[in-house]
Structure 1
């Protein structure tokens, strides 16, 4: 398998899951400004949409979108317990978290990376994100991970997008449960391996 990624981008989510699952893979860095690959070729030839992540399977098929990728990868290594069994309510709960993180957090950050957006407009997005994080902080009370004491692929996604908060000025001060989750995630060997692979350790 081959994962196309950009350091610190949302593609870090399946990168972490690949390490958690212990799946052999090649990580190929994409320059999102030039859309070039390390060999100078055009990334648009791989993914016409130009963004990451993209997972290329051994047979040449290509998959995109974080929520889909992490579930696919988790199912390749069921013994790792990264995702509850198909058809279970617990699995639906993880999917619920993946959907929330993708729509309410990830997409909320997107405008904040746009230098052309006015500060007063960015303030609206920051306030909405802060409100969402207060809710997550309540959900994490008494828990090590989003699903309780068991790590799931949703934790990887939450960790990655939450790391963007200080870069764009989203105030997470006082959210002790969120902070504890981030610290717990950073200590996971798979996360450390991913950060090292992406040059962010």
Structure 2
């Protein structure tokens, strides 16, 4: 497998899970502005969507979209319980979290990385983030991870996205359950390896 990534982007979540499952893999960075990979390949020819993550499978197929990649990787190592069993209610709860993180948290960080975003857009995004993070903070009360006491791929995604708060000067101190969660996830050996590999440790 080969993961196409940009250091620190949402592809970090997939990188973390690859480290968690311990299967052989490679990575290749992508210049998202130029749409060129580190080896000089045309990224758009590989992935017409033009963004990361993208996972090239051993059979030559390409899998895109972070939540799909995360579940695929988790299912390669079911013994690790990184995702509940397919068809279980818990699996749908995981998918609910992945959707929420992608559409309500991830996307509200986007204006801060968009040079065309206006101050009004950023102000609205900040207000949205405060509400969404307040919800997440409440849900983490009395539990180590989003689904309870077991680390899942949703935690890797949340850790990655909320980690962007440092780049936009968003103070997380109002949400102590989130700050404790971030520290807990950051301490995982697989997370440390992925961060180091991306130059983020």
Answer yes or no: same fold by TM over 0.5: yes
What are structure 1's unaligned runs of at least 5 residues? Answer: none
1:10–1:161 Cα contact (<8 Å) kept: yes
Residue of structure 1 in register with 2:168 after alignment: 168
Q: Per-residue deviation at 1:148?
A: 1.0
Secondary structure at the counterpart of residue 63 of structure 1: strand
Secondary structure at the counterpart of residue 87 of structure 2: coil
Q: How does 1:84-99 map to 2 (within 5 A)?
A: 84-99=84-99
Residue of structure 2 in register with 1:7 after alignment: 7
What are structure 2's unaligned runs of at least 5 residues? Answer: none
Residue of structure 1 in register with 2:44 after alignment: 44
Deviations 1:128-157 (A, max 9, x none): 111110111010011111111100100000
Q: CA RMSD in A?
A: 1.0
- Normalising by structure 1, we get a TM-score of 0.97
Q: Per-residue deviation at 1:93?
A: 0.8
Number of equivalences: 201
Q: Per-residue deviation at 1:173?
A: 2.4
Q: Distance in 2 between matches of 1:170 and 1:77?
A: 35
> Greater CA deviation, 167-176 or 69-78?
167-176
- Normalising by structure 2, we get a TM-score of 0.97
Deviations 1:101-143 (A, max 9, x none): 0110011111221122111221111111111101110100111
Q: Distance in 2 between matches of 1:161 and 1:151?
A: 16
1:101 correspondence with 2:130: no
Q: Per-residue deviation at 1:169?
A: 3.2
